[in-house]
C-alpha cells in the first residue's frame, strides 16, 4: 500500500511537470500574419519584395502538398494572437488578399529584434488614460468614465483592477478594490449554495480583518443587480507577491466616484493615505495625441498610415511593428490608437 501511494505521488509530480512544460511552451509560441498563398514561387517573391519596400517584415515559407509546393507569404512576428489579428486587419486591401493571423512556423531568426504583445485594448469612447511614474516604474490607469467601476492598472508586469491604487516608497502597491459576496456564477447556483458562499466569505473576512461580523455586514454595498460586495484595502509586496488586507472598509453611505468610496479605518496605526498624485500625462479621445515620432534610449517609433514603424537606434533596422498610430511609449511599452481603440502593447 505504501509503495502504491508513493507511486501515485510520483505520477502526480511527473504529470504536473509535464503540464508545466506544456504550458510554458505554449506561452512561448509566436504568431504571424499570412497574407497570401500561391503555387508560383516567383510571383510570391515579387509580392514579398513589394511588401518589404512598404516596410512590412515579409518572408516566405514553403509547404509541400500532394499537388506540389505551396508558397505562403507572411508578415511579422507577434507574441500573442491579438496583436497579429489587429495587424492583419490593418493590412486589409494590400495585394488584394485577406490577411489572417496564424500560428508561426519558420520565422527567420533576424526578421524582427523583438515581438509585440497586446496587453490591453480599450474603446476610445469615454475612456481616460492617466500615466505616471514613481521609483522607475510606470503606472498606467485606464478608466471608463460615467460608470464609476474599477479602473484597470498596469504597473511593470502587473495588471489588476481597483478604484484607486498607489505605489509606496517601500515598493508596495496599496489598492482599493471590490470583493464579491456572492459567487461569480450566480444566479446559476442555488440560493443555498449562494448563501453558503456568502457566509463563508463574510466569516473569513471578519477573521482576517479582526473585526466583528456585524461590521462586515454594515459595510456592504449593492451593485445594479442588487448583488452585495465590499470595498477592501489590499497591500501587495511587489518583490514577494504577498498580499495583506488592511483594516479598512468602504463606507456605503459615501458616494462612489471614479476613485471609489470613502474608507473607514478600524486601526489608526495601519491607516494609509491612498491619494493618487497628479498624473504626468492624460489621454482621452479628444486629445490630439497622435505622435509623429516617439523616442526611447533603444528605439524610435513613428506613425506610418495605419501602423507604427519602429527603428532600432543601434542597427537602423526598421519595420512596421503593430497596427495603430503611436501615442506614448517607454522602453518596454507602446500605446497606439487604432480605429476606435486604444491598444497597449508590451515589447519583448
pLDDT for res 4: 39
| For residues 202-212, average pLDDT | 94
Burial of 160 (0-12, 13-18, 19+ CB in 10 A): middle
Same domain, yes or no, for 132 and 262? yes
Same domain, yes or no, for 242 and 304? no
For residue range 244-291, list pLDDT tens digits in order: 999 999 999 998 888 999 999 999 988 999 999 999 999 988 766 677
Nearest to 44 by CA among 81, 92, 97, 113: 97
Contact 142, 131 (CB under 8 A): no
Same domain, yes or no, for 137 and 253? yes
Nearest to 55 by CA among 347, 342, 306: 306
For residue range 82-122, list pLDDT tens digits in order: 999 999 999 998 888 899 999 998 899 899 999 999 999 99
Cα–Cα dist 331/303, whole Å? 17
Neighbouring-strand partners of residue 155: 139, 158
Exposure letters 247-286 (e unless 16+ CB within 10 A, then b):
bbbbbbeeebebbbbebbeeeeeeebebeeeebeeebeee
Neighbouring-strand partners of residue 127: 144
Cα–Cα dist 142/282, whole Å? 10
pLDDT for res 288: 65
Neighbouring-strand partners of residue 144: 127
Is the model's pLDDT at 22 over the cut of 50? no
Among 41, 68, 103, identify where a domain stops. 103
pLDDT for res 147: 66
Mean pLDDT score of the chain, rounded to an integer? 88
Q: Is residue 90, in this structure, part of any structural domain at all?
A: yes
Is the model's pLDDT at 11 over the cut of 60? no
pLDDT for res 18: 42
Q: Is residue 111, in this structure, part of any structural domain at all?
A: no
CA distances from 132 to 41, 175, 278, 296, 299 (A): 50, 16, 8, 16, 21
Same domain, yes or no, for 134 and 250? yes
pLDDT for res 130: 96
Same domain, yes or no, for 59 and 145? no
Q: What are phi and psi of 246, to 5 degrees?
A: -90, 155
Q: Specify the CATH number for the domain of residue 39.
A: 3.30.70.1070
> What pTM, to 2 d.p., does this model score?
0.85
Same domain, yes or no, for 266 and 131? yes
Same domain, yes or no, for 80 and 139? no
Percentage of the chain with pLDDT > 70? 90
Same domain, yes or no, for 170 and 209? yes
pLDDT for res 167: 95
pLDDT for res 257: 86
Q: Is residue 166, in this structure, part of any structural domain at all?
A: yes
Q: What are phi and psi of 198, to 5 degrees?
A: -60, -50
Q: Is residue 247, in this structure, part of any structural domain at all?
A: yes
Provide the pLDDT confidence category of residue 46 given band limits of 50, 70 and 90: very high
Same domain, yes or no, for 77 and 139? no
Same domain, yes or no, for 217 and 262? yes
Residue indicated by cell numbers 509580392: 47
Q: Is residue 338, in this structure, part of any structural domain at all?
A: yes
Is the model's pLDDT at 12 over the cut of 70? no
Cα–Cα dist 226/54, whole Å? 55
Nearest to 280 by CA among 137, 126, 125: 137
Same domain, yes or no, for 94 and 136? no
Number of domains, the chain: 3
Q: Is residue 83, in this structure, part of any structural domain at all?
A: yes
Q: Is residue 63, in this structure, part of any structural domain at all?
A: yes
Structural domain boundaries, residue 328: 118-122+287-347
Cα–Cα dist 175/318, whole Å? 40
Cα–Cα dist 160/240, whole Å? 17
Q: Is residue 138, in this structure, part of any structural domain at all?
A: yes
Q: How many CA atoms lie within 13 A of 108 on its CB side?
A: 13
Same domain, yes or no, for 324 and 248? no
Amino acid at each position: 500500500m505504501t509503495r502504491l501511494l508513493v507511486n501515485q505521488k510520483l505520477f502526480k509530480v511527473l504529470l504536473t511537470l509535464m503540464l508545466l512544460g506544456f504550458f510554458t511552451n505554449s506561452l512561448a509560441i509566436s504568431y504571424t500574419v499570412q497574407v497570401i498563398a500561391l503555387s508560383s514561387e516567383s510571383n510570391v517573391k515579387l509580392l514579398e519584395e513589394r511588401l518589404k519596400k512598404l516596410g512590412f517584415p515579409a518572408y516566405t515559407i514553403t509547404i509541400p502538398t500532394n499537388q506540389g509546393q505551396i508558397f505562403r507569404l507572411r508578415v511579422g512576428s507577434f507574441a500573442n494572437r491579438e496583436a497579429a489579428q489587429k495587424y492583419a486587419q490593418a493590412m486589409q486591401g494590400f495585394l488584394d488578399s485577406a490577411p489572417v493571423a496564424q500560428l508561426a512556423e519558420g520565422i527567420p531568426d533576424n526578421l524582427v529584434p523583438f515581438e509585440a504583445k497586446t496587453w490591453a485594448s480599450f474603446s476610445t469612447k469615454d475612456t481616460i488614460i492617466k500615466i505616471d511614474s514613481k521609483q522607475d516604474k510606470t503606472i498606467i490607469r485606464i478608466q471608463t468614465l460615467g460608470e464609476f467601476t474599477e479602473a484597470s492598472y498596469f504597473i511593470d508586469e502587473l495588471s489588476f483592477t481597483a478604484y484607486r491604487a498607489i505605489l509606496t516608497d517601500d515598493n508596495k502597491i496599496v489598492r482599493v478594490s471590490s470583493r464579491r459576496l456572492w459567487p461569480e456564477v450566480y444566479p446559476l447556483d442555488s440560493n443555498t449554495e449562494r448563501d453558503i458562499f456568502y457566509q463563508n466569505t463574510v466569516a473569513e473576512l471578519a477573521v482576517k480583518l479582526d473585526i466583528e461580523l456585524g461590521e462586515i455586514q454594515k459595510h456592504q454595498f449593492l451593485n445594479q443587480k442588487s448583488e452585495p460586495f465590499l470595498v477592501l484595502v489590499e497591500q501587495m509586496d511587489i518583490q514577494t507577491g504577498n498580499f495583506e488586507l488592511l483594516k479598512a472598509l468602504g463606507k456605503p453611505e459615501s458616494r462612489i466616484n471614479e476613485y471609489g468610496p470613502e474608507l473607514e479605518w478600524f486601526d489608526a496605526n495601519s491607516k494609509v493615505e491612498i491619494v493618487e498624485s497628479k498624473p504626468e500625462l492624460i489621454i482621452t479621445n479628444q486629445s490630439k495625441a497622435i505622435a509623429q515620432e516617439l523616442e526611447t534610449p533603444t528605439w524610435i517609433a513613428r506613425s506610418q498610415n495605419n501602423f507604427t514603424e519602429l527603428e532600432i537606434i543601434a542597427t537602423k533596422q526598421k519595420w512596421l511593428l503593430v497596427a495603430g498610430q503611436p501615442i506614448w511609449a517607454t522602453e518596454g511599452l507602446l500605446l497606439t490608437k487604432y480605429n476606435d481603440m486604444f491598444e497597449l502593447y508590451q515589447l519583448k
